[in-house]
Each structure stands twice: as C-alpha cells, then as structure tokens.
Amino acid sequence: MNKINLPPRGAFWRMTKLAGLLLLPLAAMNVAAVNFPVGTHLIKGTLKDWQNKVLTSSAALTIQAVATNGTVIASTKVADPTADGYNFLLQIPLSSTATDSTAAVGDTLNCVLVQESGLSLAANPLVVGEANAVSTVCLALVNMKNYTSTNGTGTTASVPAEYVDTIAAWMEAYEIEGDYDPFADYDKDGASNYAEYRAGTNPFDATDKLAITAYSAPKDAPHAISFEYAGGHVYGVATTLSLTNPQWATQKVKKTETDAEREQVMPSADEDDVGVATIYVVPAEGAKSQFFKVEAK
C-alpha cells in the first residue's frame, strides 16, 4: 500500500466538519473569478435624418447596441422627441467583464438602425460609460436617396444621404439655389457633383478637380501616376487601349513599385490631410498605346 501524504495541518489548511460539509481554504479550491453584475448604463440620444431633423416615432426605427460578436445587448424604438430633443434611451446592462448579454465599462458597441422594412444601417459606435450614469449621443440616419438624371438619359443613381448633406452645405455657403442633382456639373470642370464628392474636391471650383499631375513610363518598370488626393478618400485607376470609343476598365495598382497589386488605395485616412500621392501600374503587354485616368471610388 502506498503511503498517502496528507497536507500539513496549519492555520491555512484545516478540515472542519460543520453541518456535514467539508470546508477547505479557497486557495485549494481553484475557483474561477466571478463575473459580477454592476448595474446599468443609460445612453440617451437624438437620432436625426439627413436634413438634420429630429426623427419621431413615425419613422418606425429601432436602435440596437450590438457587441462585437454580433449579440444585441440593448434595443429600443425611436420615440417622439422630448422637450430637450432626445428621442431614444438605451439601457446597457453591465458586468465586471463583458459577456454574451452584458457589456463592461469602457466597451465600444456597434450601433445598428433597423428600419421597418428590415433594412439595417450602421451608425456611429456607442461607448459604454459608468454604471448608474447617463451619457448622451447624437446619431444621423445614413440612408440612400435615388436620383434620376436630368440630361434625358433616364439614368438612375443611388447616392448616400451624406452627399445631399454635404452639397447642401456647399450650396448654402456659395448662396446657390437649385437641386442637389448628383449628375450636374456646377463648376463645368468635366466631373459631376457626385464624382467630386467622392474625390473630396470642390464641386463649385473648376480649378479643384481630380487629375493626373505627373506620369512616368520607364521601359522595364511599373508606370508611375501622381495625383492630388484628399484624406479619407479612396482612389483607383481606369485604363483603355484607345480613346476612340474607349472601353474603360479597372486597372490594378501598386502603392510602391514592388507592392502587390490591388483594386484601389487610400493615401491617407486623415480627413484633414491633402497632398500628392504616387501609385504604380503595370502596362498592358504588347499594347501600342494605353491610356489611364484616376478615379475616386
């Protein structure tokens, strides 16, 4: 029979028979940390439409606070605005460590706007504050608006509401009246209003437009294309082999001469940044001529 080595009898290790229970010190039990509920954080907010108008309950919208794993932590309907302009209240359940149904103080939750039709739209993220406290937010409904071309072609385009909001601000600043038509070219520089919105250029200034500023075509290396960029915008290159009935197609680009090819690039994520960027393209093999143009995506 093997000898059994009993634990030492001391102040931190003793067995006591009490009401039929065997009591052991916590250190010997290897108990996992307990995740304690710590209360609720309230997020009081205002949801507006693209015209900066506070929405009412007639909008039939639901606001969801969603964890990064996709679990809906809290949900509420948009209500008629109160006297101070707030039209929704989210109650975020808290625990000391985030779980599938709770958040922890300092977490960032995704915010999803669910329309009555079932369409889900993303809004600015929500930051979880302290327990039994209230934070306030202002959200904008990011929706799509359909426009039909006024040039007789019948073309229809869906553009984000931010476009309408942006060009409305431009028109107010320049004291220009009229529609926000994305097909129009108010400064007559050859780029439509919406194309300039995507490029980050001024649709009311013909000198401010997306264009190639320099081009270099070494014989045995990728061709270099330089252009002025606006931060926060994404750019790509289109190419055609002829300007007679051109067939423009997306051209793969490189951020450096030795970089892997990609569909598009963002020279800078800083929206206040402007400058000149250079990207590289591999010319078509055996082509007698090839033409390129920079596009905003």
Return the closest-CA partner of residue 226 out of 267, 198, 261, 260.
267
Q: Which residues pair with 54 in a beta bridge?
A: 48
Domain boundaries, the chain: 37-140, 144-199, 212-296
Return the closest-CA partner of residue 257 out of 294, 296, 217, 290.
217
| Alpha-carbon distances of 251 from 23, 209, 243, 279, 285, rounded to whole Å | 73, 21, 16, 11, 13
**Start-end of H helices in 101-241:** 161-173, 193-199
Given the candidates 3.30.530, 1.10.155, 2.60.40, 2.40.70, the CATH classification of the domain at 37-140 is: 2.60.40
Whether the pTM exceeds 0.95: the reply is: no
Provide the residue-wise pLDDT of the chain in tens; the chain has 297 residues.
444 444 443 333 333 333 333 333 434 444 444 677 889 999 999 998 755 688 999 989 999 999 988 899 999 999 999 999 999 999 999 999 999 899 999 999 999 888 887 767 778 899 999 999 999 998 877 555 666 665 555 667 677 767 877 888 888 888 877 777 788 888 999 998 888 988 999 998 999 989 999 999 988 889 999 999 999 889 999 999 999 988 999 999 999 999 888 888 989 888 889 999 999 999 988 888 899 999 998
